[in-house]
Structure 1
Amino acid sequence: MNPKAISSCVLWNSLIAIVLLATLPEVSAAIEGTLPSASTFLQDLLDRYGENDTLTLYQLKSLLNRVDVGVGSDNGSRTDPNNRNLSKCFSSSQLFAVHNLSESIPIDRAAFKEFCPTVLQQLENRACQVENQENEENEETEEGKPTPAEVWGYGFLCVTVISLCSLVGASVVPFMKKTFYKRLLLYFIALAIGTLYSNALFQLIPEAFGFNPLEDYYVSKSAVVFGGFYLFFFVEKILKMVLKQKDQNGPGHSHYKPEKYISKSDLEEGLTEKLQNGDLSHVAPHQNNDLGCRTLAVDEKEVQASQSTCYWLKGTQYSDIGTLAWMITLSDGLHNFIDGLAIGASFTVSVFQGISTSIAILCEEFPHELGDFVILLNAGMSIQQALFFNFVSACCCYLGLAFGILAGSHFSANWIFALAGGMFLYIALADMFPEMNEVSKGEDGEVGNSLVVFAIQNAGLLTGFTIMLLLTMYSGQIQLG
């Protein structure tokens, strides 16, 4: 390349660079002229939230609310110079106390400049963001709670339906000797076990710990807990049926006839026969010292000598009624009171929770009241007396409902849920489960009957489990009214 041309090119490039450097300050000044000054940001806040370049505490609090700062709980505005915990969300009154701001003194530019780093620090640690989320969740929970009219209305309706179960006992007395009666009773007992156990696992116990089925995803784990219980029940029943069949087909036989004891089912059958024949006006217990069990006897003269002032309560004199009847009545009343307590507390949380608990209690009360009715008759009460006292004990549920609603409305219902959850587990596993095995004993004679009984037990348990599982899974979609 020509050296002269190279020199010309270098000269032009140098000239262009000098021109650009000369115009750069003017370009920078033009760019800076389009930006606001630093003081205008402060002035904008003072103009929009204050007056005359000053702020009051109320106006400053409005600014803090706008940026979600100062929403923490106000546990006092006293400052502690040794407290270095700045990771919490402070309330607006606490922030004002830190800077010695008061309502009587307006906040000028200098004081507002000093206050701004505090706002920046609270925004940076995001403590108030968590506090805001908790406040929003609490507001949503309050909005989702039923009204007092719904709580009392639905609660009273459910308790009334449950209490009517106490009057069902007399209607099934004529069918006690029928085969389908025991199988129907067996199904309802298994249904009660399934609903009570599942209600405790899916709703009461998680609610006591503050879990939400839609957020904490505990439903699958609770289902596995029920699965462990059901697996052992299934395996145990299969092994018993197989081993029992093997023993019956084995070579060994007993050479003596076992002593015949009077069982509870024998008493029920004898009682039913008298009721069907219409010759049972009074049942009085007599203690057999050799066998240690009660037998039935009819005493027409004692019935005629009854001095009851109420027609419906005519029958046995109260002094002749066995102690067992009064124990059953009192314990049943206490049991129903706790049931009402659980229902009332559940309805204060949500209508869905109350209905779920009511369904579990209803499934448990139906077979329970049938058994209580027979026990009261065996203990010496007439049919009218048994109906009356069974209904009186059932009405204790209303008292428990009122206590549960009042306690759940003014205090945390979690403690009541914890108590009810433990009670439901005990009733299902320690009370109803042995009763189911006792009722099924008379049906376990042949292989065919054993399979039918086993199928009925499985149907009841799985039905109760399915009801509570579906109610828990779709609780968010259940809307009433």
Structure 2
Amino acid sequence: MAVWARLELGLLLAVLVVSVTAVQPARLLTLLSSGQGALDRVALGSLLNTLAARVHCTDGPCGKCLSVDDALALGSPEKSGAPSGPVLEPRHIPRLSAAAALYLSSPEATCTDVRAGLWASRADRLLALLEGPEALTPGLTRLLQRIQAPAQAAGQSTSEACVDLPQLLAEAAGAGAPGSPGPVLAALLDHVRNGACFRALPTPQYFVDFVFRQHDSETPNITLAELAALMQRLGVGGVTETHDDHSDHSHLGEEAEHKGPVAPSTPNSSSSVWDTLCLSAGDVMAVYGLSEQDGVTPEAWAQLSPALLQQQLSGACSPQSGHPTQDQLSQVERYLYGSLATLLICLCSIFGLLLLTCASCSTATHYIIQTFLSMAVGALTGDALLHLMPKDPKDRPCSHGHSHGGHSHGVSLQLAPSELRPPKQPHEGSRADLVEEESPELLSPEPRKLRPELRLLPYVITLGDAVHNFADGLAVGAAFLSSWKTGLATSLALFCHEVPHELGDFAALLHAGLSVRRALLLNLASGLTAFLGLYVALAVRVGEDSETWILAVATGLFLYVALCDMLPAMLNVRDQRPWLLFLLHNVGLLGGWTVLLLLSLYEDNITL
């Protein structure tokens, strides 16, 4: 009898050891984060048996379509023809986890893919679709819903003890990979191996908690003023007049003016993963355990109302909440396109060589500059009215102002022949007053003797240009931060505006007595500060509170430069051929407006 007792005890211990080994295998998330260890054929066979026991197909058994060789093939590059290795390394775990998730969510379709040799490519596609914070939460939610569907069909209810999406994301973040789909799916597969249940949607209490997270008072209840602010944000109810707690009213009145969707962040609570999840009508009914066939009863309507309120307050289903605009650029693209645009703008300083080629035809130079000047007026006003002003600050991740630092643009008009110059008008802070009657001497490549009043002029011009071009770089960077379309429009406007401006600067430097070579070098050196402004704008971000003011300043300065500086100077030009000048001015104006108008109308049809 004692011998049989010892044998039974030994068998019991052996069974316990085997059970513990089977229930608690090496965690896939641990292998992935540490980069050490591997999954051999035994471990993969155990995993596949667990997956096969969990799935249910409508047409009968379907869990035996996976083999260990199929799992090992996930570690081989696609279309390589190389034989599979004996183990799966940690770097293969994301693909294995995605492939297993596909099998759990749709076993019949996955078995078809396995037989066609497409299992690995489907797993890679799933990982690519889940890449990015905007796609991860809704994608994993739908995936968990499909995994959970067989249990719901069998009548099993999901309790709060089941694993949900916030827990999976927290485990992936704890492993040092927040927001990456591979570790999250590895954590999901770990819980599948341990026989855990899953909850794809939040609990009903979450919606009530979300609404109460909107107030930041010390009391646990929503006050009358907070309720009024909440109703005003929802666009319902009338005005409630009260006569006490004026300090609180002023604060809540400002809060009530903001009716748009806001992120639910308060000092005394943190946001949840569910806050940005857009729920369908079926999702809301599933949260409260309502049958689609039975519909919503009056009693159930009172229960699910907080869910509808939460969706409205969070703005989760608004287009700007979960779907980034397609014209947004990546960080690398912003630097690349911004640098190219700034380089083209800086090359305007080389246009000063046109003055030398046209030294014997100052009249032609005059008409060329007048055409570019009118085009600059059209481009600047078109960009301000058609792109910067209509732009909603919420659609712009960040912006920077465009400041000209008191820099004048009227100097470009002083290249006209002496008999065509308009009468001098006072222009405070303008370099135009320092430029005298033009003559062929102005375009001479040789330096001439400086007069005392012109001795400091080259330094003043260079310093003003440096500040001005720095502001231009800020404008280009801010525009490309918004979108490539706004960046293109702003770059085009600045280019048209810089051509006559740089020609005028070059002429002023020559008039001050500099040689052609030195004038070009100073013009080019001052233009390089635009790159500094560009990279400052791309590196430094501003908040939404500052964007409205910055956009207003940028729009106002564009309109001021075009309408109050360049346009009056253009209209004051006197010419022996007024009809030709009238034609060139209108061609430039209409050309600038037409280009910006076409870009505004058809920018949605243009893709990069």
> Structure 2 length normalisation: TM-score?
0.47
Please show how residues 166-181 of structure 1 align to structure 2 within 5 Å.
166-176=349-359, 177-181=361-365
Aligned to 1:165: 348
Map residues 198-217 of structure 1 onto 2, 5 A cutoff. 198-207=382-391, 209-210=393-394
Displacement of 1:174: 3.2
For the structure 1 residues 419 and 268, does the alpha-carbon distance in structure 2 shift closer, same or farther, using more than 3 Å as the test?
A: farther
Cα distance change on mapping 1:380 and 1:372 into 2, 3 Å: same
Partner residue of 1:270 out of 436, 441, 445: 441
Cα displacement string for residues 409-448 of structure 1 (whole angstroms, at most 9, x for unaligned residues)? 877655443332222112112222233235x32x1x3xxx
Q: Of residues 590, 593, 602 in structure 2, which corresponds to 1:465? A: 593
1:83 aligns with 2:228: no
Query: How many Å apart are 1:83 and its aligned residue?
Result: 2.8
Q: In structure 1, what is the Cα distance between the partners aligned to 2:502 and 2:436?
A: 16
**2:485 & 2:551 partners in 1: Cα distance?**
15
**What amino acid is aligned across from residue 199 of structure 1 in structure 2?**
D
Number of the residue aligned with 2:450: 285
Deviation track 1:162-198 (CA, whole Å, cap 9, x = no partner) reads 1011111023223143432211111100000000111
- Corresponding letter in the other structure for 2:446: S
| Counterpart code for 1:168 | F
Say if 1:197 and 1:425, in contact at 8 Å, map to a contact too: yes
Aligned 8 A contact 2:471 2:533 in 1: yes
- Paired with 2:492 and 2:157, the residues of 1 have a C-alpha distance of 56
Offset at residue 159 of structure 1 (A): 0.5
1:382 to partner: Cα distance: 1.5
CA contact (8 A) 1:71 1:131 kept: no
> What does 1:261-340 align with in structure 2 at a 5 Å threshold?
264=435, 266-272=437-443, 275=444, 280-286=445-451, 322-340=455-473
Identity %: 29
Cα distance change on mapping 1:112 and 1:460 into 2, 3 Å:
closer
Counterparts of 2:587 and 2:203 in 1: how far apart (Å)?
58
1:47 positional shift: 4.7
Given the superposition, is the C-alpha separation of residues 413 and 82 from structure 1 closer, same or farther in structure 2, using an over 3 Å criterion?
closer
Match of 2:480 among 339, 344, 347: 347
1:385/1:366 CA distance change after superposition, 3 Å: same
Aligned mate of 2:314, from 115, 124, 131: 131
SS for the counterpart of 2:604 is coil
The alpha carbon displacement at 1:147 in A equals 0.7
Secondary structure of 2:501's aligned partner? helix
Matching residue of 2:553: 419
**TM-fit CA distance, 1:362:** 0.3
Deviations 1:311-368 (A, max 9, x none): xxxxxxxxxx622221111111111111110111111111111111100000000110
1:59-208 map, 5 Å: 62-64=200-202, 80-83=220-223, 85=227, 87=231, 119-123=303-307, 126=309, 128-129=311-312, 131-132=314-315, 135-141=318-324, 144-176=327-359, 177-207=361-391
Deviation readout 1:177-226 (Å, 9 max, x if unpaired)? 343221111110000000011111111222265579xxxxxxxxxxxxxx
CA deviation string 1:39-59 (max 9, x = no partner):
xxxxx89955425xx766959
Q: CA deviation at 1:385?
A: 1.4
* 1:455 Cα deviation from its structure 2 partner: 1.2
Q: Which amino acid aligns with 1:285?
A: L
Quick one: structure 1 residues 70 and 142, their matched pair in 2 at CA, closer, same or farther if it must change by over 3 Å? farther
Q: Distance in 2 between matches of 1:95 and 1:454?
A: 62
Structure 2 residue aligned with 1:435: 569
**Cα distance in 2 for residues equivalent to 1:352 and 1:284:** 48
Secondary structure, aligned partner of 2:221: coil
Q: 413-422 vs 361-370, which deviates more?
A: 413-422
Q: Aligned equivalents of 2:271 and 2:383: distance in 1? A: 47
Q: Take 1:339 and 1:208, find their aligned partners in 2: how far apart are those partners?
A: 22
Q: What is the distance in 2 between the residues matched to 1:65 and 1:322?
A: 77
Q: Distance in 2 between matches of 1:342 and 1:409?
A: 14
Bigger Cα displacement from structure 2, 451-460 vs 143-152: 143-152
Equivalent pair of 1:348/1:405 in contact (CA under 8 Å): yes
What letter corresponds to residue 380 of structure 1 in structure 2? G
The total of aligned residue pairs comes to: 327
Q: 1:375 to 1:45 in 2, by over 3 A?
A: same
Query: Is the contact between residue 474 and residue 530 of structure 2 (CA under 8 Å) also seen in structure 1?
Result: yes
Distance 2:485 2:476 in 1: 11
In 1, the alpha carbon distance for the partners of 2:347 and 2:300 equals 67
Q: Take 2:553 and 2:336, find their aligned partners in 1: how far apart are those partners?
A: 24
CA distance in 2, matches of 1:270, 1:157: 36
Partner of 2:34: none
**Secondary structure of the corresponding residue to residue 603 of structure 2:** coil
More helix by share: 1
Q: Distance in 2 between matches of 1:141 and 1:425?
A: 30
Distance 1:367 1:459 in 2: 16
**Are the equivalent residues in 1 in contact too, given 2:469–2:527 (CA < 8 A)?**
yes
State whether residues 370 and 585 of structure 2, in contact with CA within 8 Å, keep that contact through their aligned partners in structure 1.
yes
Say whether the 8 Å CA contact 1:68–1:128 is kept in structure 2. no
8 A Cα contact 2:328 2:482, kept in partner:
yes
Alignment-derived partner of residue 50 in structure 1: 158
Q: Is the 8 A contact 1:192 1:428 kept in 2?
A: yes
5 Å matches for 1:252-267? 264=435, 266-267=437-438
Distance verdict in 2 for CA 1:94–1:180, change over 3 Å: closer
Structure index of larger Rg: 1
Q: Is the 8 A contact 2:380 2:558 kept in 1?
A: yes
